Structure 1
Amino acid sequence: MPEQKEKRNLTKSKIIYYMLNHSVTSKAELAKELNLSMPTVLTNVNELIAKGIIAENGEYESTGGRKAKSIGINKSYCRAMGMIITANHLEMVMVNLGYEIEKIKRVRLKFSSEIAYCSEVQKNVREFLKESDAGDEILGIGVAIPGIIDQERKIVLKSHALKLENYSLSFLEQALGFPVYFENDANAAMLAEDTLKYANAIYLSLNHTLGGAFCIDGQLVRGQNQKAGEFGHMILVPGGKKCYCGKLGCADAYCAASVLTNDNQISLEKFLEQLESKDLATTKKWEEYLDNLAILISNLRMAYDMDIILGGDVGGVLSRYMIPLGERIMAYNGFDHDVSYMKNCSYEKEASAVGVAKHFFTEYVMQM
């Protein structure tokens, strides 16, 4: 009997996972795509409808005969909160079961390793939950942090951005008062993507600093010391510009968003306005940036031979510049016939916050 129950739970999980990434489907489609018998689909779908997790939401166009009922996830069934900690800000999002962002709030809060910082975070989170009308109904709070994290011991091993080393996250966890999940910000952004669609993929996070992550068979690869995906600190130009980590020639010094914003002296939006107005200095900087980014992407493709998702602040706007970027990449890559492996990110903003929130939905589905 326990074995049968486990099998039923696994089937439910498969159905929910599929529906989380397909906003509208039908029982016939589930049977076909998941290789399940129609009686199995009917039994499980009816149970999930009774629980309120999924709902009938219309009808498919008829191809002859009776119209099939369309079904989808009940997005309001549960929620989770995601949070990004940076050196100077705290960003919070409320995400529903349909992976939609219902509310965003960004507050200026300078990071500190002092306990008083945890109290400030607690205060802001309580205000955000009150404004979201979420109360105690959320599954948990995910926290994305720019640094190398030991999840088992809940320690930030190292963070250049926050100037931390061996920093315990226990005080912050206690202050939040909900189940908490901590994750590196680039890993979290990778988790915001559909890891069924991108089971084997690299996520290149082109934010103020450059980060990265990658999945194999739908699972994050963390490496022996939790450092996998630190693409920003691969040497791109030997003896080149100084990186914030202290080394010379790191990819971060050439491909991070800070290269375009002069280390936040101007906004990325202002840079793009100047680019669109054909400002000569801005155009020259952009072309140099694309050249360096093309080398990095080509190197990653050679090393991993998988899809590369362009994310982060710059990744969010690169969809407008894929042709000039692709032309540069092809000049460095003699093995691929096109650049169809380059993908645009699903979330132009708040990807890391969505990714850490999604962790709780995955956990919830697994426990069904």
Structure 2
Amino acid sequence: MRRLLLIVALVLLVGGLIAWQMQYDSGYVLISYGNYSIDMSIWTALLILLLASLLWRAVGATWRLIRAPGQGLHLHWFNRAERGRKQTAKGLLQFIEGRWAQSIRTLKKSAGRSELPLVNCLTAAFAALELGDFEAARKLLQRAEQISGGDMFAADLLRARLLIAERHYEEALALLTRLHEAQPSHVQLLRMLVEAYQGLHDWGNAEKLLADCRRYRALPEEQLAMLEIRVYSELLKEQVSNGQAGPEMLVSLWQEIPSHMRRSRQIMEVYLDSLQRVGEFSRAEQLLKKILKNEWDDKLVRRFGLLGSEDPATQLKVAEGWLSGHANSAELQLALGRICQRNKFWGKARDYFESSLALEPRAETYVELARLNAQLGDQEKSFHYYKKGLSQEKSLGQL
């Protein structure tokens, strides 16, 4: 502050002295060139020199501003772009953090100042999609297409994602098929194609993509395994439900399923159900025996006991052969009782049912004993076992 006051005082003092000197003696300057001459007071000459000096400095400063980017005239635009970059970076961080609403607001606001407005629009559209705001996503995609000229893979991919989210599977599939022709190994594209086929229940075409999904690692191994199980299970069900496929077509489809998938318990059970639905009980029985020979499973033993056989005597012989290793299996004892009933071995059936109950009291075993006694004419025992079964069912319901 003191320095400023000192400068002002000096300026006033010098100005006063100059004014006094101008009044006391104005001086004289003569400039002569050829036949021309100019005369003026010294103070006028000094003023002209001062103005010329200021003009020269102004011209030089202007020239430097024009030549130096990021300075002067460009400073405003530089600062504006810098603010846009910072806002875009902030919006992208919000997107990564999953703060969809904040990310949309920040990216939309900074799009006009961003050096890459297309990135702002596409990222904001993705965030809107994650938020479930399909209308906002659609508008942002339209804006992105205007910026890109309407021909951009990323925008098309995001539009397909929007169509799938809205369950417009046929439209999505048309777009994805076109993109797939251009980029057949694109991982995200493969995932979305599978999703679209699943939405349309087009399991045949979904199955055609499984090999590429595995080749290009489009899905984690666990998810891919679940997808394969779903696709092949649905294909087996579809083969039976359309009413046109005979046993031969069903068996042919089973043989076409990759061997590692035929070992899947879930797919095996779907195939067993399908065989029974088309009346292929013998094939179902052979498959069950093959599986149980290698790996014991009480659930499959239960299926074996419920499965009608063309040769119940052989079926009983096979099941009784399992007693040596699994005599303490309540499920096997129950299955043997049912097979004995089909063979009309009533006494053996009763013994097996009672052995099963001794190992594990179950409502369905009591019901089997009740039916057996009713068939044998012992209504009192039948009523007793029905009552026990009902009591067992109620106690299970309270757990």
TM-score by length of 2: 0.24
- Greater relative contact order, per chain length (Cα 8 Å cut-off, separation 6+): 1
More strand by share: 1
Higher radius of gyration, 1 or 2: 2
More helix by share: 2
